[in-house]
Amino acid sequence: MKKVSEQEIALLHQFVQKRFVEFYDVELELVDHLANGIEQQWADNPELRFEEAKQIEFKKFGVFGFVGVVEQKQEELSSLYIKEMMQYVKSFFSFPKIVLTIAIYLSLFAIGYKGGEVGINILRGVAGSLLFIFLGLGVYWNYDIRKNRKRRNKSRMFLLDSIAIKVFFGGAFMPFIMQVPFFVSRRTDEYSIFGLIFICLVILLLGLWTCIMFFIFKPYFTQQIERIEKQYA
């Protein structure tokens, strides 16, 4: 059966890009879909010209072209990636890790409760240091995403890259993490027992979110992008 050539694949990429498909992994799926459709047409009519087959295949997407398909594909991929990531999160909170998490929280509380002013200052220092590490790693991750895009010689990002940034800045723990500057700036004598409970929780969640992001999510995103690159290589 007649196959789509590499030059024709490049033309399909240009065709898809002109229709404002933002993410490269979505573009790859659309190009693959068009190429398969064209080859199916050639199986029935080998004399059909490439441009004619391309337009016939594109018309199958309807009046709005790729718009609806792109939105659907982005929702599908986003749901798939988030679902898979949640499985990693659940495994992180499985036994015995959950016991270690509780033990760390109780230790933090004991430091603040028993240590008085020194203990509170230690907690404030830990919170500030974790926030600095978290933001620093976030800057590094953003740099890493840009570097990998340059390596792929692509100006646009993967949908995975976009999800990674949204997960980092819109994670479930972010409302707690944003409280760190407030607690660090408070005077020691302003801490109540409830404030101590909360800052220990903030420190714990900040530490957990940092570990989850950079020891679970980041390797996951890297593996998925490598898988997609190999699939369409």
Q: What is the pLDDT of residues 184-207, one digit of tens each?
A: 666 656 567 877 888 888 888 888
Tell me the pTM. 0.67
Distance CA 130, CA 206 (A): 7
Cβ-based neighbour number of residue 19 at 10 Å: 14
Long-range own/partner contacts, residues 39-45 (CB < 8 A, 24 or more apart): 39/1, 39/2, 39/3, 39/4, 42/1, 42/2, 43/1, 43/2
Is pLDDT above 80 for 179?
Answer: no
- Cβ atoms of residues 204 and 130 within 8 Å: no
Is pLDDT above 80 for 110?
Answer: yes
